[in-house]
Amino acid sequence: MPIHEEHLIRPENLVTHEQLVIDGVDVSGHWSTFIESRVVTDYNEALQDEIAALPGGEQIHRCWQCGSCTNSCTVNAINPDFNPRYWIYLIRMGMESELLRDRDIIWQCVSCNKCTYACPRDVFPEGVMKATAHWLELKGHTPKSPSMHFDEEFAGQVFATGRIEEGRIIRGFFARTGQALMQDWLVEMVKRLLRHLPVKLIVTMGLANVLKPRTRGWGRARAAIEEYVHEREQVQRRALGLDALVKAAASELDQPARGAQP
């Protein structure tokens, strides 16, 4: 399928001759501009299946490239390079190296879900964006995002106690992402809470911070949830071939060390 959006033409693929005369006609400069054809050889034939194995990506195969997601996208309105339709196209075609060129902006989806409502095929493009950002992290193409750190902190607390306590989540999130706890906006928010919340509630929140209360009888539910999460992680690792990647990386690291031995 041809790609029509002009900004998708990579500047390095545009070629212009400063001086060119063809059959006596001067076509120098702008008139001789043409687009070099792209040759893609490194397909990842499993790319669509890898994205579909992650939460949110399951319906990617339903896309028919109508472009409604991109047309309605909040981020695309600010940055035309943010193009869900195009990335879904690349994923379905297995063009991994092309997708990786945009690795630094895919995470910018703000989850407004306008695309989800616009999509006539129930692809859930917002979910595909999240799955793609997750895929980039799992494959080591991008560092773990703040959003992933938050999710892990949140889930970790739920697993441990069967409930969440906002103060501890914020502290844990800041520690994971190397942020100072005393931030102006946070101090202001706490001040306002202290001014407006009932004293009893403030005391309860303070105690919860220290005592880390648990949901009664949480143990069995936790075991079942952990088993499910572990099962899903294994499915995802298999789909993405992560164990093979880790093994290959480990043996690569091993090579020079062996070579260095007398």
By CB under 6 A, name the binding residues for ligand SF4.
63-69, 72-75, 84-85, 88, 109-115, 118-121, 123, 125-126, 129
Q: Put residue 67 in one of left, alpha, beta given phi > 0 → left and psi -120 to 50 → alpha.
A: left
Rounded to whole angstroms, how far apart are CA atoms 131 and 99?
A: 13
* 8 Å CB contact between 127 and 57: yes
Closer Cβ to ligand SF4, 7 or 212, answer by number: 7
Q: How far is the CB of 43 from ligand SF4 (least distance, A)?
A: 20
Q: Whose Cβ is closer to ligand SF4: residue 118's or residue 245's?
A: 118
Cβ atoms of 134 and 153 within 8 Å: the answer is: no
| Shortest distance (Å) from residue 129 CB to ligand SF4 | 5
Query: What phi and psi values does residue 26 have, to the nearest 5 degrees?
Result: -80, 110
* Distance of closest approach, residue 59 Cβ to ligand SF4, in angstroms: 9
Q: Which two tokens stand for residue 221?
A: 């539910």
Pick 57 or 84: Cβ nearer ligand SF4: 84
By beta-carbon proximity to ligand SF4, the closer residue of 61 and 144 is 61
CB of 77 vs ligand SF4, minimal distance in Å: 9
